């Protein structure tokens, strides 16, 4: 009897008073940098709703995307696996394009599929980017476990309109009519050229509708925004308001959207039985200049395996479960959300394949640590760097999108990213034993990887 009471007491923090599993919401920004939010130190972009979310929950300071660009990072989040395992990466092509025929393999098990099996209603609102269903219907989100869908199949710059000038001018001018952003509801094409100035508002309306419609049953909402990926568009209510210019306008509207979601959960009485996680798919697109974001004190941005390319904001909110004003300095990543939320939803994590995500419930609830061996930084199909504890070794270095070639290091560059998050001081010569430990961990990881054929072959080069 004592053992039964102990088990029940351990489970109680994860259940509502009714004993129901928690609702789950993942809000995923596109190209939002580590330094783009008020609670992460931006001096002029106003994000009161996200800041309040962090104050009422937990802010991670060392949270990572599993890839440095869109497609592989999204595949990793939804499957809990490094993209090298399922072919959702490529050295040359980087991301799926409008013309791509590949997509997330059906052999992969998504978080939506696991939760749906446990009685969850599942919905996606926003950008998919894991296969273009107009090229092959099997790549639609509703073929990967989602009951409800509203959004774009890929990034908002991948289908230039007939009057689009050269790319550089189109991105600089930021005119909505330059882009065909096809908006779908399920398999139905709602608009071939969506008004991108209304996308954040319309996405938010759909997210709120999904929550209110399904408030009587457990639900999983995956809410991957289109912005602040360039080209940038803000509604008339936000355009011209931010001291940071158009980029700030877009992020402040994104903040409004987060506020509407959290307010809806409060108003419907669902807040204490809903865990919400906010993050970004990769670092900021520094190549875009003033229409790109900031990695703060971190080095480089989107497209690179320096910290600025893959360390991103990570904020968890679960009133009554996650301690308010919590700051977690432990390493965690988007792949962990797959494992954590599957278990919170009562699902069995697949046992027939390698799952790289860890269950970070102990971190969220402040009840313990999480054992983690090595975190690997891939660029395409190549492992560029690896982190073990506070130490990060770079085996190959390259800038985000510059003309430079990759440089392989016979002696890896080594940084203590706890002490030196800007990766400014290479201390390899003083720590050969650390490099040896990281190399051993990387070899153990490599031994577990059976590289899958790339699904991105045939895509155009990513910008």
- 94's torsion region: left (phi>0), alpha (psi -120 to 50) or beta? left
Measuring CA to CA, how many Å separate 260 from each of 71, 200, 414? 27, 11, 43
Examine the residue annotation and report whether 149 is marked as an active-site residue of this protein: no
For the chain, 463 residues long, give each residue's pLDDT as a single digit of tens: 334 333 333 444 455 545 789 999 999 999 999 999 999 999 999 999 999 999 999 999 999 999 999 999 999 999 999 999 999 999 988 899 999 999 999 999 999 999 999 999 999 999 999 999 999 999 999 999 999 999 999 999 998 888 888 877 777 778 888 999 999 999 999 999 999 999 999 999 999 999 999 999 999 999 999 999 999 999 999 999 999 999 999 999 999 999 999 999 999 999 999 999 999 999 999 999 999 999 999 999 999 999 999 999 999 999 999 999 999 999 999 999 999 999 999 999 999 999 999 999 999 999 999 999 999 999 999 999 999 999 999 999 999 887 889 999 999 999 999 999 999 999 999 999 999 999 999 999 999 999 999 999 765 543 3
Pairwise CA distance, residues 163 & 170, whole Å: 10
Place of tokens 């990543």: 333
Q: Helix (H, G, I), strand (E, B), or coil: what is residue 61? A: strand
- Structural domains in the chain? 20-365 (3.40.720.10), 375-447 (3.30.1120.10)
143 CB-near residues (< 8 Å, 6+ apart)? 106, 133, 137
Measuring CA to CA, how many Å separate 154 from each of 96, 146, 441? 8, 17, 35
8 Å CB contact between 321 and 23? no
Pairwise CA distance, residues 328 & 340, whole Å: 16
Residue 184 DSSP one-character state: E
72 CB-near residues (< 8 Å, 6+ apart)? 66, 83, 88, 89, 95, 378
DSSP notation for 386-420: EEETTEEEEEEE--SSSSPPPEEEEEEEEEETTT-
Q: Report phi then psi at 220, rounded to 5.
A: -125, 120
188 CB-near residues (< 8 Å, 6+ apart)? none
Residue 329 DSSP one-character state: -
What pLDDT does residue 14 have?
Answer: 58
> What is the CA 370 to chain-centroid distance, rounded?
20
Type and span of the H or E element at 266: helix 246-267
Pairwise CA distance, residues 287 & 209, whole Å: 36
Pairwise CA distance, residues 34 & 19, whole Å: 36
> Is residue 249 reached through a cis peptide bond, with omega within 30 degrees of 0 on the bond before it?
no
Entry pTM: 0.95
8 Å CB contact between 130 and 104? yes
Count of C-beta atoms within a 10 Å radius of residue 47 = 24
Q: Helix (H, G, I), strand (E, B), or coil: what is residue 39? A: helix
Measuring CA to CA, how many Å separate 366 from each of 14, 58, 323, 327, 357? 13, 10, 8, 10, 19
Q: Report phi then psi at 390, rounded to 5.
A: -85, -5
Measuring CA to CA, how many Å separate 10 from each of 3, 7, 143, 346? 11, 5, 36, 14
Count of C-beta atoms within a 10 Å radius of residue 401 = 17
Q: Which of 42, 129, 154, 394 is catalytic?
A: 129
Measuring CA to CA, how many Å separate 175 from each of 122, 156, 335? 34, 12, 35
Q: Across-strand partners of 219?
A: 121
- 274's torsion region: left (phi>0), alpha (psi -120 to 50) or beta? beta
367, exposed or middle or buried, with CB in 10 Å at 0-12, 13-18, 19+? exposed
274 CB-near residues (< 8 Å, 6+ apart)? 22, 23, 24, 25, 265, 318
What pLDDT does residue 2 have?
Answer: 35
8 Å CB contact between 317 and 26? no
Examine the residue annotation and report whether 129 is marked as an active-site residue of this protein: yes
């Amino acid at each position: 009897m004592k053992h039964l009471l102990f088990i029940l007491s351990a489970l109680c923090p994860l259940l509502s008073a009714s004993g129901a599993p928690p609702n789950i919401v993942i809000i995923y920004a596109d190209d939002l940098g580590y330094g783009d939010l008020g609670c992460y130190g931006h001096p002029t972009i106003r994000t009161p709703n996200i800041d309040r979310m962090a104050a009422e929950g937990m802010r991670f300071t060392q949270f990572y995307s599993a890839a440095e660009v869109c497609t592989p990072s999204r595949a990793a989040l939804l499957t809990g696996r490094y993209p090298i395992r399922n072919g959702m990466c490529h050295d040359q092509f980087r991301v799926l394009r409008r013309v791509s025929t590949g997509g997330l393999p059906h052999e992969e098990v998504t978080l939506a599929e696991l939760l749906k099996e446990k009685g969850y209603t599942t919905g996606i609102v926003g950008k998919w980017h894991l296969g273009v269903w107009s090229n092959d219907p099997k790549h639609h989100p509703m073929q990967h476990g989602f009951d409800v869908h509203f959004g774009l199949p890929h990034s908002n710059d991948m289908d230039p309109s007939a009057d689009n000038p050269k790319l550089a001018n189109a991105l600089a001018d930021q005119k909505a009519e330059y882009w065909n952003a096809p908006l779908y509801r399920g398999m139905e094409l709602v608009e071939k050229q969506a008004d991108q100035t209304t996308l954040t508002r319309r996405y938010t309306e759909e997210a709120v509708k999904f929550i209110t419609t399904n408030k009587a049953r457990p639900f999983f909402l995956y809410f991957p925004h289109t912005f602040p990926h360039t080209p940038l568009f803000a509604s008339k209510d936000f355009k011209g308001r931010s001291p940071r210019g158009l980029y700030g306008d877009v992020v402040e509207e994104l903040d409004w959207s987060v506020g509407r979601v959290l307010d809806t959960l409060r108003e419907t009485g669902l807040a204490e039985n809903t865990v919400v996680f906010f993050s970004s798919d990769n670092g900021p697109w520094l190549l875009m200049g003033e229409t790109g974001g900031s990695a703060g004190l971190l080095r480089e941005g989107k497209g690179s395996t320096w910290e600025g390319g893959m360390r991103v904001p990570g904020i968890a909110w679960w009133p009554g479960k996650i301690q308010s004003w919590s700051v977690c300095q432990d390493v965690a990543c988007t792949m962990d959300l797959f494992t954590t939320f599957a278990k919170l939803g009562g699902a069995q994590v697949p046992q027939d394949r390698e799952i790289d995500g860890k269950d970070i419930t102990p971190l969220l609830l402040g009840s313990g640590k999480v054992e983690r061996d090595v975190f690997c930084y891939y660029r395409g199909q190549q492992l560029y760097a690896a982190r073990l504890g506070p130490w990060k070794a770079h085996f190959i270095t390259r800038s985000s999108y510059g003309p430079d070639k990759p440089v392989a290091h016979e002696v890896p560059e080594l940084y203590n990213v706890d002490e030196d998050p800007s990766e400014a001081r290479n201390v390899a010569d003083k720590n050969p034993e650390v490099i040896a430990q990281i190399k051993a961990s990387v070899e153990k990881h490599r031994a577990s990887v059976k590289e899958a054929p790339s699904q991105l072959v045939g895509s155009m080069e990513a910008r």
